[in-house]
Amino acid sequence: MSKLFYRQHEYSSGSHQPLGASVNDYGVNFALWSARADRVQLVIWENPDSPRPTQIIDLSAGEHKTGKVWHIQVEGLRPDVRYGYRVDGPSSVGNRFDPEKVLLDPYARAIDRRFYRRERACVPGDNLHHCLRGIVVGDDHFDWGDDHHPAHTPEKSVIYELHVKGMTRHPSSGVEYPGTFAGLTEKLEYLKDLGVTAIELMPVQAFDDDIPFQNPQGQELVNYWGYTQMSFFALEPDYFARGDGQYLSEFKKLVKRAHELDLEVILDVVYNHTTEANENGPVISWRGIDNQSYYLLSPANRHYYLNYSGCDNTFNAGTLAGMRLIVDSLEYLAREFHVDGFRFDLGAIFYYTDFGFTHEPEIIHLINQSPILRSLKLIAEPWDATGLVLQGRFGGENWFEWNGEWKNRVRQFVNFGTQAENVKAHLRGSAPEFGFYHKNPAMSVNYAAAHDGFTLRDVVSYDYKHNEENGYYNRDGSNDNYSKNYGIEGETEDSGIRFTRQHKAFEMLSLTSQAPGMMMILMGDEMWRTQGGNNNAFAQDNSISWLNWGLLERYPIWCGRVKNLIKARTGR
């Protein structure tokens, strides 16, 4: 059997800009930011199918460091090469350097996780053969043609919140590549016909789908939603039909086709925490590169993490490294993929720094001043997991906000007859949560249901959540759903109850369509989709979460009514 031999590439000092791996005429330039590191190694794999690296290069602090950036130019390397870093530094409290761990570049444009083992990243010891690896990405020469942003006005906007995989994973979808960007592209004509003006994609940045627990039936659960980021740059590898995640043209084709159909593309981005979790979590990237720069640590003991996200850590958007990474990520996604806007998960976390809460976050200022970002739709989820709510005062006049207060009020009004005055006030354009802070109610994103909670059908079918399948004995998920079953808990064949439920649900949608601001509906609500009472289906990569396209035929009258309502608002 013949063997493959790889030559040792020559290298030079390279440049400290740009950060990440950049292909040039002579090879690849690598640049890594770390303020506290003492030693850095670059690990290279030229054979993607091998766990063994082909070259390991020590970077010297003299020749290969400028300021806080470590850099090197490796001659003769081409796109598709895999790479990672070993980083060492002081062992003082607050640092988590581990020279045995090979780390993912925070600026990697694509990742290869075929050999990744989370458990190896959670314990001491070498993970060389089981680490996340960055992929060097070159120019794909994608032809955007005369692509442009549709830029719909708020009063004519209807956002369709969807999950890329869930939209087409069910066998009834009939697409060639279920659960992928390519599969979603096939369904854009349907969304155009529905009348919506924008699609909001739940996280498409690479995420960790490994959740270390089983449900009561012994089934292993996965992170289906995608709110555990492995990267702020790389797209989710499993969403590419062609594999590996470096074939970025598939996502570009999705965006280009959406724009041809006059649909905006908004990305749900997660900059509030990462998959590295707490002090017992895995060391895969940020933590091992410069823990103190990328995370908010407890002032009482910097061994521990502050947890404003509810996910064991909080990303630090107040340091130079944190701010730059976030803005660079946003500008890259906007520039490279032509997206039309961003929805910021748990956006209130931007208001925390190492010095506590601030009323004027620098990261917000940088986003507002960016010539690339300031003209896009910027949408905040204006709260965090601790109870802090910044409704009506997030980010400035150009920031839209998810209006959780409207969701609660419209449900209480329709289901229980309360909150009438507040609902009327919002419909008149004087929403209390916006008016108090002198913010235009047109910057509100109004919805009756979203991914985080009941579907619209379940809001009028269940008095209580039913999350037993998640494995937390029904303790997870919100208890404040303002839902009502109208006589029978769950599904029923009683035609009177079914009629009442659809009437109440349509009333919620109708009021939401009349409220000033943008309207948003949840994937499948126009088809009368149910999750069986599960209001926290984050781990349900199955028929609970997948969209069953057969509902279009089962509930044609409901579908038609919702379609007409949407078109009446948008005029499409």
H-helix or E-strand containing 558? helix 556-570
Q: Are 508 and 481 in contact (CB under 8 A)?
A: no
Q: What does DSSP assign to residue 324?
A: H
Q: What does DSSP assign to residue 86?
A: E
Neighbours of 529 (CB within 10 A): 21
Q: Are 311 and 384 in contact (CB under 8 A)?
A: no
Residues counted in the chain? 572
Q: What residues contact 91, with CB distance under 8 A and at least 6 apart? A: 97
**Residue 300: exposed, middle, or buried by beta-carbon count in 10 A (0-12, 13-18, 19+)?**
exposed
Cite the DSSP H helix spans in 394-494.
Answer: 404-416, 420-427, 432-435, 456-459
| Secondary structure (H, E, C), 401-412 | EECHHHHHHHHH
Kindly give the pairing relationship between strand 352-353 and strand 198-201: unpaired
Q: Are 28 and 21 in contact (CB under 8 A)?
A: yes
14 sits in the region (left: phi over 0; alpha: psi -120 to 50; else beta) called left
345 is catalytic: yes
Query: Active-site residue among 345, 384, 452, 541?
Result: 345
Q: What residues contact 80, with CB distance under 8 A and at least 6 apart? A: 48, 135, 136, 246
**Structural Rg of the chain based on CA atoms:** 24
Distance CA 13, CA 273 (A): 33
| Cis, peptide link before residue 18, omega less than 30° from 0 | yes
Distance CA 498, CA 447 (A): 22
Cite the DSSP H helix spans in 127-233.
Answer: 164-168, 181-186, 188-194
**Residue 238: exposed, middle, or buried by beta-carbon count in 10 A (0-12, 13-18, 19+)?**
middle
Kindly give the pairing relationship between strand 264-269 and strand 27-33: unpaired
DSSP string, 97-136: --TT--B--TT-SSEE-TT--HHHHHSSS--GGGS-EEE-
Distance CA 151, CA 197 (A): 9
Distance CA 272, CA 99 (A): 26
Q: What does DSSP assign to residue 238?
A: G
Provide the token pair at 538: 């984050």
Q: Are 395 and 378 in contact (CB under 8 A)?
A: yes
Query: Active-site residue among 161, 336, 381, 525?
Result: 381
By C-alpha distance, which of 43, 45, 52, 55 is closest to 85? 43
The dihedral through the CA atoms of 451, 452, 454, 459 has a sign that is negative
- Report, as residue numbers or ranges, the catalytic residues: 345, 381
